Structure 1
Amino acid sequence: MGAVGSVVVSLDAELGWGFHDLPEPPAKRVESGRRGWSVMLELLDEFDVPATWAVVGHLMLESCDGVHADHPAPPGWFDRERGAWADREDLRFGPDLVEGVLEADADHELASHTFSHVLFGDPKTDRELAAAELDRATEIAAEWGESIDSFVYPRNDVGHRDVLAEYGVSAYRGRSPTRDGVRGVFDSTVRDQSLVTTPRTDEHGLVNVPASLFLFGFEGPARTVAESIWTDPMLELARRGIDEAVRSDGVFHMWLHPNNLTSERDDQRMRSILSHLERRRSETDLTVETMGDVARRIQRSRGTGIDGAAGGVDGQATVRSN
């Protein structure tokens, strides 16, 4: 068969922090964060799929004063924590959920999603703020006895990669070949665009493990119509990406937020995807890796001509999917 690629699953684990800066957070998804987190842990264990859990550092705290006086955040950044969500500890803290990741049967990777979901690519995010976010997240992880090897940018807004390198990060999830999940459906079905990517080392020594497919990029009425006359488009794309990884030596990197699982229909999408992955893994040499696994593999290949240098991505368009 020749070379066989691998599959990576990454999750942006954020609870309320993924929406705290929005004027009107989407209530259904905000309230689905804990449910989806638990469902994904169960499914990943059931199918023995190790995943990269990119966790907002604040969730690993037991409590806080809500002030964060030493944090160089812009004015108003923590207003929702201090105000509307002051009594919603279930949205602001999640040490029980993080423990679930670390104690799971599947060998998950704990990665960073910053301390408070700051957008690193935002022009208003200076180096001081980026460093403070990563410093605090790394500090909290160390208190848990964990180190941070991989990083997922909030809303895929890439920036300050030099800060990641300074803090010992090895890998980050880079931009997707398509701008968002809806265009991903169009490009991949109509234009037959490849879903497999090639991780490479950038000029900072970081391994860019690009996203291939956001698994909840085709929702709402369009999804309902598509399922009524055909099938779940995202399920078909995920299956195709997994099959393509079997035939290649690249990486199919699919990602989601736990809060995307708002109903049993969403649970079934993930169960079907992981079931297909399990079947293809049993039939072939296909492997499942975490982002950290990919980085270590790429780093071992340095000097062999396998690894290449990827150009900077800070100047490229970014993918923003809440």
Structure 2
Amino acid sequence: MGSVVLSLDAELAWGFHDHETMPEDRVGAARESWLRLLDMFDDHDVPATWAVVGHLMLDSCDGDHDSHPTPDGWFDRDPGTWEGRDEQWYGQKLVDAIEDADADHEVGSHTYSHVEMGHTSREIASAEMRECVEVAEERGLSVDSVVFPRNYVGHRDVLAAYGVKCYRGTQPRRWYDRGPLGSMAKLFGWPTGTVSSTLVTPEEDEYGLVNVPASLYLFCFEGRGRSAVERVTDDPIVSMAKRGIDRASAENGVFHMWLHPNNLTEERDFERMESILSYLAQVRDTTPLRVETMGSIAADIKDDEPLPREPIGPR
């Protein structure tokens, strides 16, 4: 018997604050999409790991981040206001909604301010985790699972020092990621490297963290390519997701799907998620299939003893 995991990069505007311009459709839709997704998960009793940018756990901020070692300008877009005024930068009520949901979700971390952990210094990585842990502890939460911004894995030793149990790793490369066949697939718009019904095997790494690799990004095939395919056949991502769910119900391994709430900007995006979640619930209710969070996967692999927290830098 296998397992299915869903993880979400919950970031609102923080996912784009280092871009020259931010996608207005995705930023503008993110809050409503977050809440609609929670309703959909409740409808099908599907738990997920919500990896939340730490700053979103605040309901207000004065905009002063001088103590954070990020370069000058990193926090320039933080308006220094409150959730009721600038709701794309603060998300305390959204985190409340995760905790109040009927489905047994996990609140994880997406760093404090969406720093790419694979492209930063240890000092900054430490500050990002320190801030996350502190704001989570103020809510009575423990940071057990981490999703790296833009999937750039880095500074895993820092995660271990703060007692993190697991992270979402990148999926293995396959034949269609490289070579002439891969190049041809890319020419025709197929999103190589992000589409697969592959089952993954979570493993403990050298730092004592459990790597729960990704299997399928649910919004990797978009735009004109998606529209063209949907005119003649079913949504290919739904088909791939169903195949992965079927494999997880019949084999050992984990099928790990992921997305951002801000991916859902059109009604067809919600239809995609409804198709996947309803199928997942149907298979779970009729076959020996588990639907788990990243944290519960890690708990299956490691013992229940909490990891020691050895903070790096000032508390």
Same fold flag (TM > 0.5): yes
**Aligned-pair CA distance for 1:282:** 1.3
What are the equivalent positions in structure 2 for 1:311-322 lying under 5 Å apart? none
Match of 2:228 in 1: 225
Matched residue, 1:183: 192
Once the two structures are TM-superposed, the CA of residue 300 in structure 1 deviates from its matched residue by: 4.0
* Paired position in structure 2 for 1:29: 26
The residue identity in structure 2 corresponding to 1:137 is: C
The code of the aligned residue for 2:162 comes to Y
For 1:102 and 1:87, how far apart are their aligned partners in 2?
20
- Aligned counterpart, 1:5: 2
Q: CA deviation at 1:177?
A: 2.5
- Structure 2 partner of 1:265: 268
Compare 209-218 and 23-32 and name the one that shifted more. Answer: 23-32
| SS class of match (2:238) | helix
The question of whether the paired residues in 1 share the 8 Å contact of 2:199 and 2:255 is answered with yes
Q: Letter of the aligned partner of 1:210 in structure 2?
A: P
Q: Does 1:101 align with 2:110?
A: no
Q: Which residue pairs with 1:75 in the alignment?
A: 72
Candidates 84, 87, 90, aligned match of 1:90: 87
Give the CA deviation at 1:212.
0.4
Determine the C-alpha separation between the residues in 2 that align with 1:154 and 1:76: 19
Matched, 1:164 2:159: yes
Is 1:149 the counterpart of 2:158 in the alignment? no
Mapped to 1, the partners of 2:231 and 2:123 lie a distance apart of: 50
User: What residue number does 2:182 align with?
Assistant: none
Secondary structure (helix, strand or coil) at the match of 1:8 reads strand
Tell me the residue number matched to 2:50. Answer: 53
Name the CA distance, whole Å, in 1 between partners of 2:161 and 2:154: 13
Q: How many residues align?
A: 290
- Which one-letter code corresponds to 1:245 in the other structure? A
Deviation at 1:67, TM superposition (A): 2.0
Contact map agreement 1:5 1:248 (CA 8 A) in 2: yes
1:239 corresponds to: 242
1:282 corresponds to which residue?
285
CA change 1:293–1:256 in 2 (3 A) is same
Specify the code of the residue in structure 1 equivalent to 2:3.
Answer: S
Amino acid at match of 2:291: V
Match of 1:204 in 2: 207
% identical aligned pairs: 57
Separation in 2, partners of 1:198, 1:146:
27
Does the 8 A contact of 1:119 with 1:157 survive in 2?
yes
CA RMSD of aligned residues (A): 2.1
Q: Given the alignment of the two structures, is residue 136 of structure 1 paired with residue 131 of structure 2, yes or no?
A: yes
Letter in structure 2 aligned against 1:244 = R
| Secondary structure in structure 2 of the residue aligned to 1:121 | helix
- The alignment partner of 1:89 has SS state of coil
Superposed structure 1 runs of 4+ greater than 3 Å apart: 85-88, 178-181
Contact 1:184 1:213 in 2 (8 A): no
Instruction: Tell me which residue corresponds to 2:313.
Output: none
C-alpha distance in 2 between matches for 1:248 and 1:148: 30
**Structure 2 residue runs without a partner (length 5+):** 178-185, 305-315
Q: Which residue identity is paired with 1:67? A: D
Aligned to 1:191: none
C-alpha contact 1:80 1:86 (8 A) present in aligned 2: no
The answer for the alignment partner of 1:62 in structure 2 is: 59
TM-score by length of 1: 0.86
